[in-house]
Each structure stands twice: as C-alpha cells, then as structure tokens.
Structure 1
Amino acid sequence: MANLSVKIVEVCRVAPKPGSSENQSLPLTFFDLFWLRFQPVERLYFYQTSSTDSVLSKLKTSLSLTLQHFLPLAGNLTWPQDSLKPVLSYVQGDAVSLTVAESDADFDHLINSISLAAQDFRPLVPQLDVTDERAAAMALQITVYPNRGFSIGTAMHHAILDGRTSTSFVKAWAHICKHEEAQAQALPSSLVPFYDRTVVKDPAGLDELYSVHHQNKDGRTDNRSLSIVSYRKASDQEDLIRGTFEFTRAFIQSLRGHVISKMASDSSLHLSTFSLVYAYTWVCMVKAEEIKGEKTVVVFGVDSRSRLEPPIPATYFGNCVVGRVAVAETKGLLGQDGLVVAVKAITEALRSLEKGVLDGAENWVSKFLDVSLYDRIYSIAGSHRFEVYDTDFGWGRPKRVEVISIDKTGAISLSDSKNGGGGVEVGVVLKKQYMEAFDALFASPVH
C-alpha cells in the first residue's frame, strides 16, 4: 500500500462555538520550553462503522463545542520581542485547521496489518503550520473510508502540551461527540483542563536559562525562531517499516518471573509493566540494529504533576514531564542476561527521582543535545497509562491507534493494547532488515 490513495475534499477552519470566553494567553513554562523545537506529535485513530454519512457533521460540531474548553488549542505560539519566552495566545477569530479527506484504501488492511510501510500512514495526518514567527497549536484531519470507517489524525505542538494533555483533549472531544444529546453538559472533572501556570514553581530560574539557550542557538544572541529541528535526516526516513507488537499480560508476567529468577537476592529492581516492556524492547532493538557502540542509552519521560512540591492538578494543561536517562554497556545488553542489564539501568534512572524530580534540571537541554558519545539513543513516545483505546466518539473503541511521528523521531511508541486485558502495544519504525530481525527476536524466548 505504498501508494495510499487519499483525496483531499476540504481544508477548513473550526472555531470554538460562538459565545466562548474572551481571549486567553499562556506563557510557556520551563517544562514547555524544553520541547520548543521538537517535532510535533502525530497520532492516528481508526474507527470502524458501516455508516459514515453522519461522521463529519458530528465530529465538526463536537469539535467546536470541545474547543470552548480548550481555547488555547485554537490559538498560536509566538515569541514577542518584548517577552522573555514564547507565548501561547488565543484571540477571538482563531480556529483549528481541519483537513477532510476520503480514501478507497483497504480499511481492513490498515487496521489489522502488524507491519506496513511507514509512509502508508503519513497522508492520514495533517501538516502542522509552523514558521519562524508563528506556530499553530494543533491541526486535525478526518479521513473517511466510505461505509467502512474513518480515521482521525492529530498533529500537536510539543511545546504546548504533553501526552497526558493531548490525549485528554481527544477524550474530551470524544465524550462530547458521543453524548450528542447532552452536549451542553460540562465535561467530567477528569477532562476539564487546569490553566493556572502559577502552580509551576521555578526558583532556579529555569525559564530564563532555557530561553537564553534557545536564543543563543546557531551562534546568534536573539534567535526567536519557532522552526522545528529534525533529528532524523530525510534520507533516514526512506524505506522504513512500521511494526506494532503486543505484550500480553501473560508475556509481561513471564518477563517479571525471568528477571526475578536471575536476581532472587535483589528485591530493589523496579519490575513495573513499563520497566519490563521498555527493557525487553530496548534489548530487541539493540540486537536487531546490531549496535556497535560501547554504551547505549534510553530516554523516557516521567509525569511530574503528582511529584512536584507541592503537587499540581492531574488535569494541568501543558507539559509537566521530566526526562530520565538510562545507560547500559552494549555488550551487556547483547549478552545472555540482557534483559536484567536493561531493567537494572532503568531502575537506576528511576531511582534518581528520589533526589527530586527537578534535580539537575539546569543541564537538561545541554545534556540532551550531547548525543555524540553514544551510537544510538532510544526514546519513548506515549504511555500505556493514557489508555488511548478508551477514546470512544460514539462508534466504539478505536480499532487501531498509532503514533505516526516516530518515523521522524526514531522513538518507540507505547500505548495500552487494543485487545485490553492489561496488555501493552509498542510501535517501532525500522529499515526492513532490522524490522525482520526485531520481529524474530520479539517472538523468541526471553533473552
């Protein structure tokens, strides 16, 4: 399906329902500034229905209603000359770009194939409008497969919202769409965004530190560009295969048992679902890609809303993630006890949270950019705790959810499983020969 047929029917703008509140402006925090020039996060949801006639009208109407609660997502990011840092602003008249498309592609193939050319999904997500001077907060695309189903593609600016906020917005949209007869009702409290930025304390002046770092980029002293930096060359994005792999609850338990059997005397290891899934995937990736460097690194984010002092609301709108880095010797990961080595490294990285989630935050940006020491850096996009498969617009649970942007970032996507039961899905995008190797390793006995 390398030549996926998609016909653009309409590109329109959807504004918050008339009568929405006045203009709204949000300064970025240091949590947001870290992600200022990262690739937008693109996610794709597939839904199956034999009657697609009313899909567009329902989705458009409910989107306008949902934006009343999420006004900033209809706005734009700018960096005024008189401002220390960029500002996200919504002014009346702003709207979200919505692309409407149709496709005669094989819908069953799209929702069921565990391996596809990475470019197959790209026409199903919108392009986020980003220039040096202005960046849209969000863009959306609805693609209809007549009498088969539809997909919703989202592109969201990473400096504006993290995974928890972005999936909460989509769930709020789904809630309002599903309960069409009661659209005037308020959202459940778990989906109502909290906008007060004063709850994020910054005694160390990280806002200014990160802002200055961005302004000094490329040898300039006043670089206020909002353009996105690509961390994967265009040539490295060619001929890639997207694969989706499931960790069932039984599989995860077998991994836990394997590590315990190897480390019976060490009860300090972090044997959570996340640690085990990420560790196993890390080992499979290193072996599949035949990594040669002395050390290999994985980077992952930790939601810090409940970890800050004092904690901030779970529905806080924006970024509130701290990064942690796990480092392991490549030969250890390639060895007989590779899974244990990986779990130990992830445990050590998580243990650093005990020093405080902001420990070392002044060096986050510079450390992240220093990638020359390592042959390969792995990272995570998404979380199984976001429960994306619970996003029901009224046509049932999604048949497939993918993080499309990992073909540009090289990250590993993570979500709950579409089959439920406490399972986890990981998505990887690799060259064909590496994907074949990964597939074989993933299905082999624990290593």
Structure 2
Amino acid sequence: MKVVHVFNVAPTSESKELPTQTTLPLTFFDILWLRLPPVQRIFFYHFPHPTPLFFDTLLPKLKRSLSLALAHFFPLAGHLTWPLHSQNPIITYKTGDTVSLTVAESHADFDRLAGTDLSEAREIHHLLPHLTISHDQASVLALQVTLFPNSGFSIGITSHHAVLDGKTSTSFIKAWAYLCRDQPEPESPFSLPPELSPFFDREVVQVHDPNHLEQKFRSDWLRQGGPDNRSLVVWDLQVPDDATRGVFHLGRSDIEKLKQIVVSKKKGNSSNLRLSTFVLTVGYAWVCRVRAEETKNKTVILALNIDCRNRLEPPVPATYFGNCVGARLAIAETKELLGEDGFIVAVDAVNESLETLKEGALSGAENWSKWLHESFKDDVKIVGVAGSPRFDAYGNDFGWGRPKKVEMASIDKTAAFCLSDSRNGDGVEIGFVSTKEAMHAFAYLFLNGLHQS
C-alpha cells in the first residue's frame, strides 16, 4: 500500500456557525468504555474507473462533504483529555481542530477483500487509520480512503469507543454519505434531516444516574494501574497469528426456518418467547460457534449490547451523541449447547437475559464495569455481540452505489460477533474471527443446520 496524502480536514464554517471552543463531559455510559480498543469499520465500494476520475471527482466530493458533516458533528474533530481539574474525562473542541484523512493506493485484490470467502484477518488492516492516543490526550476519529485502481475504493473508520457508540458512529457516516450524495452547491444551506442531526445535551443521560454509576465506573478506571491513573492509553489487545475472518448470511427464509425449529421443539410452549430476528440469529450463531471451536469451558456467556436510548424513562433522543449502550449476559452450560437441543438452549438463554429489561434498562448496571475489569473463572468463556442490523450499514451510499461489503475490523481483537444488515437486503450478516480450522467447521455447521431443518 502507498500513502498518497494525509489531509487534516476541519469542520467547514459554510452557512453554519460553529463554536470557537466547547467541552462535553463523558457520562457513565461513555466512561465504561474509556480504555477499550477503538472501533474500526471498513466500507468497500465498487468503482471500476480510471485513477484520475478518483482524484479529480470522487476524492474532492468526499473531502468537502466530510468537512460539511464535521460541522454538525464537530466534537469528532476534538480531543479526549482528563485534566486534573475535571472529575471526568472531557471532549474538547476548539477552532482549528481537524480530523485526519489518509488517502492511499492499494494493489491488493479488491474483489477478494470485498468478497465473502474466508480470509486472513490481518489482510484488511492496511485499510485502517490509527488514532493518535497518548496518556494525556486522544484523538476521537481518524479516516482512510484507499483506492484500488480500476476496481473500487474503501473507507476505513477508526473511532474512540468512549466518545461514540455504534448508533452515533453510524449516524455520522450516514450524514457524511447524505451530504456527499446530495452535496449542496457552495454557499447554499447544508442542513441535515432531523434523524441525522446530533443531540449533544448530556443532561438527558445524567438524570438517569441516581445510583452514582459515573462515580463507580470512574473509580474502577482510576484504580487500574492507579491509585489515580488518568491515562487515556487503551488496552493493547493482540490479533492472534492464525486469526481467520468469515462473514455468514441468514436470509429471511433461513430465519423463518429457525423460528419453526423453536416452535416445533417447544410444542406450543413458545408463546412467551421473543423469537425476533436478533434472538434467533445470535442464538444460532452462538451454538454453531461453541461447537466449531470445541469449547472446553464449563460455562459460556454471550454478552449482548443493548441500546438504552428508547428504554430509559424519560427516553433519550434517538440522535443523542455519545454512548448509550448497556449490557446483558446470556449464560448457558457448554454441555447443553453441545447437546441435541443446543439451539433451543441458546434461544432460552438469550430470552432469559433480555427478560430482565422489564426491570429497567439500567437494572444490574452496577455490574457492567466489573464484567469488563474482572476476569471470569477459568471454566467460563465469554463472547461479545457488536453491531446491529438496525444500523443499516449497507444503506451508506456516497453517490456511487451501496457498499459491496462492510466489515467491523475491531472484532479481530475482541473476538466478538458482529451483526449487520445484509448486502442484498435480505436478512442478516454475521461476522467473526477465529482459527482457520474453527471457521471451516463453523461454515459447515452453519449451513448444514439450515439444510437439515
């Protein structure tokens, strides 16, 4: 790969008045993720045109629309700090702050990287930008556009987990795509539709912290390497050498098959179960993975991220800027998942964990930090679930069509499942990383289970 240029893109002041300086404190939702590795995604786009068209037409539109989008999401150009005078880390933006945009050229096989075959996890790492993070300061966002001459281009996005969750990150990308696709003429208004306009008021979240979660989560980080460790350096999780990436698809008809399996096995006792696309998808992927990886741990846990925006009372606006994600744990015995009715066991476990949402989105929240900081016993294995089909990742059209493929590259380090909508609009995609042997076994179990049902 050859780096062609690195641009520092500032929020534009065209037709929109920007603050000269502003700060946003992190809430308890944000602080929970303070030192977790950045979230990284790559969007692959078909662009079978000569190189000059990319540099003369596409790149200028991407740069200008990025500047326009940053005018609305201006904290993304700022920095995360934790000054001694502040109880919490804060996001600081001031005039002149920018986002790094790397432009590169790659002669790798675009069609293979944007395809669905199993591949080495590291093969796409050169398409990702790095955040500048030190003990005292961290960038919030970094971007990289990589051209594959006469084939396509990719947009790699690295974002700080303590500043934005998947919903906020997706809203920014959608805003950027909207402004690029329907780019206004210079000097004309460039407003965003209400569903893409960020809401910055922290008070809507802070009122939901009567149990002092903010103080607890903050204290837990300060004690890590503490007693007063304000370092912003994130965990350095390594990608295993044999890590292999796979993306698997469940169409609507497949999901209906899985639903009928549960209904049949339950013999009329499934009326009180959630048999949503989410439950069926994660339950099926979970049991296939436990079998494919030949899990030896006594107990396995599936950690589910829950968007709390519309689950709080009063609810938080859908366009709230920042983290607003909680957690639930689905727990099952490995031997039961390996048994004949393993899929039913998985669905029951996911349902049981989601049932606690009736007690409130923040029920059990005092344990969230402990789940991150304290290792589970040796006989327990935990796997996370990231992303959501509701993010409509494949709807991000910058003016040259829908993505050919969307990857969450950061699951290389976390070993989580990633859920997204499907490239063909039918059903759900499930991505994850494991050993090559386990990925081949998973592919067989995943497809065979559907064909037998």
TM-score scaled by structure 2?
A: 0.94
SS at 2:303 equivalent: strand
Distance 1:29 1:144 in 2: 38
Q: Percent identity?
A: 49
Is 1:223 the counterpart of 2:223? The answer is no
Distance 1:188 1:48 in 2: 27
Shift of 1:50: 2.6
Deviation readout 1:361-402 (Å, 9 max, x if unpaired) = 122101333333243211111101100000010001010000
Is 1:57 the counterpart of 2:60? The answer is yes
Residue number in structure 1 paired with 2:340: 336
Residue number in structure 2 paired with 1:3: none
Of residues 290, 294, 297, the one that matches 1:286 is 290
Of residues 38, 61, 65, the one that matches 1:40 is 38
Is 1:386 the counterpart of 2:386? The answer is no
* Residue type at the aligned position of 1:277: T
Is 1:166 the counterpart of 2:173? The answer is no
**Aligned-pair Cα RMSD in Å:** 1.3
- Contact conserved, 1:126 with 1:153, CA < 8 A, in 2? yes
* Bigger mean CA offset, 47-56 vs 267-276: 47-56
* Residue type at the aligned position of 2:387: G
Q: What pairs with 1:315-330 in structure 2 (closer than 5 Å)? A: 315-330=319-334
Of residues 356, 375, 380, the one that matches 1:375 is 380
Is 1:364 the counterpart of 2:361? The answer is no
Q: What pairs with 1:190-269 in structure 2 (closer than 5 Å)? A: 190-200=195-205, 201=207, 202-218=209-225, 220-230=226-236, 232=237, 234=238, 237-263=240-266, 264-269=268-273
Is 1:443 the counterpart of 2:440? The answer is no
Of residues 411, 415, 421, the one that matches 1:406 is 411
* Residue type at the aligned position of 1:21: L
Residue number in structure 2 paired with 1:114: 117
Distance 2:132 2:371 in 1: 29
Residue number in structure 1 paired with 2:88: 85
Deviation readout 1:59-103 (Å, 9 max, x if unpaired) = 011101110000000000000101111001111111001111001
SS at 1:444 equivalent: helix
Of residues 2, 8, 27, the one that matches 2:3 is 8
Deviation readout 1:299-349 (Å, 9 max, x if unpaired) = 011111111110111000000011000100101100000110000000000
- Contact conserved, 1:178 with 1:392, CA < 8 A, in 2? yes
Distance 1:375 1:395 in 2: 46
* Bigger mean CA offset, 341-350 vs 18-27: 18-27
Distance 1:105 1:367 in 2: 40
Distance 2:82 2:48 in 1: 46
Is 1:17 the counterpart of 2:12? The answer is yes
Distance 2:8 2:78 in 1: 12
* Bigger mean CA offset, 430-439 vs 326-335: 430-439
- Contact conserved, 2:262 with 2:270, CA < 8 A, in 1? no
- Contact conserved, 1:24 with 1:71, CA < 8 A, in 2? no
Shift of 1:172: 0.1
Shift of 1:147: 2.4
Residue number in structure 2 paired with 1:104: 107
Shift of 1:105: 1.8
Distance 2:349 2:116 in 1: 33
Of residues 25, 28, 31, the one that matches 2:29 is 31
- Contact conserved, 1:16 with 1:95, CA < 8 A, in 2? yes
SS at 2:101 equivalent: strand
- Contact conserved, 1:43 with 1:154, CA < 8 A, in 2? yes
TM-score scaled by structure 1?
A: 0.95
Shift of 1:269: 1.5
Distance 2:217 2:79 in 1: 20
Distance 2:389 2:302 in 1: 17
Of residues 177, 186, 190, the one that matches 2:191 is 186
* Residue type at the aligned position of 1:131: S
Shift of 1:185: 2.8
Distance 2:11 2:131 in 1: 19
- Contact conserved, 1:104 with 1:146, CA < 8 A, in 2? yes
Distance 2:371 2:61 in 1: 46
* Residue type at the aligned position of 2:105: E
* Residue type at the aligned position of 2:385: I
Residue number in structure 2 paired with 1:430: 434
Structure 1: gaps spanning 5 or more residues: 1-5
- Contact conserved, 1:332 with 1:341, CA < 8 A, in 2? yes
Distance 2:48 2:364 in 1: 53
Structure 2: gaps spanning 5 or more residues: none
- Contact conserved, 1:240 with 1:431, CA < 8 A, in 2? yes
Shift of 1:160: 0.3
* Bigger mean CA offset, 407-416 vs 111-120: 111-120
Shift of 1:357: 1.0
Distance 2:117 2:312 in 1: 39
- Contact conserved, 1:175 with 1:392, CA < 8 A, in 2? yes
Shift of 1:149: 1.6
* Residue type at the aligned position of 2:117: I
Residue number in structure 2 paired with 1:310: 314
Deviation readout 1:268-326 (Å, 9 max, x if unpaired) = 11110000000010001100111111110000111111111101110000000110001
